[in-house]
Structure 1
């Protein structure tokens, strides 16, 4: 168990697991250590299975082997009433994956979640808030580039807009991941599942990154994190990587300072960049490659060009 100590911060052993015995406890922890590599997914899955097993204990289930499909179905039904359909589907997927692992480890005989269906959820248009090009330009121009924080924030937002980078991939970058190739600046990203993804920089992003690297004095630390926190009381960059929660808070703060009412998040810049690219004649297939999407169907969720058409049509209702 001591070898699995690093998991303790995100994974807590539920009482139903500890009551089942040492083999169940070890197999439970192995599930998160061996099958869930992404730390964000690990936290989400740990929360999902923890909630489910706590619910089972509350309704009188004595141990893991006593969990039945009826229990899973009742829990999903309550979850669907309280949460959005995607949340219910994700949590059911976590429970199903855990019990598959417990079955192969001979902790339980069958997977009680295998036959339980989640709520129906079909997505044709994304719900991520998107900025129009003028708003995105105003937000970037409103950032003061004379401070380390301003240089960092402009470079981070510019990276998400111009390279379609996910915030997790952007924050995982090292200084050396910004490099010159064929006389042009490129960025190296590690996207979902650790997939490597390289992109040439738009000329505006190239200016932002070069100004940030030079202004913050980062070029001499190629192995260090690219985006860093601000050291308390100094106004200068620290050596610690910028947490994702801090990046989200920064984006909301910068948007409010620029007078943008749209409730944007980090993912909004990915959708904004993709929409602007397609609106200016880009192809869906190329956008999918740039965004490192496995399918163009995913990219279509970020294409919000139809929103403007819908607004034009609404204005035809003249009363």
Structure 2
């Protein structure tokens, strides 16, 4: 098998260095590239290739087919081919390769999973929390802000006191790609956030984080996930509660009420409208069910 110092791995390691130093990608993203490309090295080595310039389109297709036979799901296969394509593009840009043989090879299409959301009554039931315990009040504030603004989990956890304008009913968040946006959070979220901030100091905050743990430090994403799931159980909600479900519910309810896809895109911080358009499927499903139940011509004639 190819060793650590092989030309195959040396060039992959140089690419990973480029991702870290030049592109400054996150550690998680770089680990994903490394995992996929190191697996590809093993598969390439088993084909008898010792250099990347020996790789041809037919071999990339064979690599994809073998990965599929080994049980790799379509989404994971697409990720593997994407990592290989990016790496080979980089080799082309450094003149180490004349052309990218993975350019014409794509993973088989896989179905797009629609995000699951709660209806408005379920959200109201979830948020009807007994807040006599200060941490329960904090959790209520987190849930209200998450649903009130459709935040990502990282945006909620990263929220600082300086980012909150209670008078204007707004928060400032930094989303994907370091893009900053201001968002309205709604009167109810402002009320609960105000109540939490009056209690926050008793936990001796160690920094400017809005939401802190018992230790006084910024609450972790894992802790938020755990608390949300626990509240779902305590409140008797039928489905598993997680932060993205609140975000999806926000997007769906906004689209159902306004019909303004562009506005929902801006609120969610989506770079591409196509990402937001997934919610139009949810909206159509809702409208179609109403139509089928109400329109006289929607009912099938009895035979």
Q: How far did residue 131 of structure 1 move?
A: 0.4
Q: Check if 1:159 corresponds to 2:145.
A: yes
TM-score (norm 1): 0.77
The residue aligned with 1:137 is 124
Q: How far did residue 141 of structure 1 move?
A: 1.4
Q: Residues 129 and 264 of structure 1 are in contact (CA less than 8 Å); yes or no, is this contact kept in structure 2? A: no
Q: How far did residue 84 of structure 1 move?
A: 4.3
Q: Which of 306, 311, 317 lines up with 2:284 in the alignment?
A: 306
Please say which structure displays the higher CA radius of gyration.
2
Q: Mind listing any 5+ residue stretches in structure 2 that lack a counterpart?
A: none
Q: Residues 126 and 231 of structure 2 are in contact (CA less than 8 Å); yes or no, is this contact kept in structure 1? A: yes
RMSD: 3.4
Distance in 1, matches of 2:301 and 2:199, equals 54
Structure number with greater CO (CA < 8 Å, separation at least 6) is 1
Q: Mind listing any 5+ residue stretches in structure 1 that lack a counterpart?
A: 1-13, 231-235
Distance in 2, matches of 1:43 and 1:307, equals 38
Q: Residues 203 and 216 of structure 2 are in contact (CA less than 8 Å); yes or no, is this contact kept in structure 1? A: no
Q: Residues 157 and 218 of structure 2 are in contact (CA less than 8 Å); yes or no, is this contact kept in structure 1? A: no
Q: Residues 227 and 242 of structure 1 are in contact (CA less than 8 Å); yes or no, is this contact kept in structure 2? A: no
The residue aligned with 1:28 is 16
Q: Check if 1:284 corresponds to 2:261.
A: yes
Aligned residues: 294
Residue 73 to residue 248, structure 1, CA distance change in 2 (3 Å): farther
The residue aligned with 2:6 is 19
TM-score (norm 2): 0.80
Q: Deviations over 1:75-129 (max 9, x none)?
A: 3234456344333323321221122123323444443322212223575xx5111
Distance in 2, matches of 1:207 and 1:47, equals 46
Q: Check if 1:119 corresponds to 2:108.
A: yes
1:190-269 paired onto structure 2 within 5 Å: 190-217=174-201, 223-228=207-212, 230=213, 236-243=214-221, 245-269=222-246
Q: Which of 34, 38, 41 lines up with 2:29 in the alignment?
A: 41
The residue aligned with 1:75 is 63
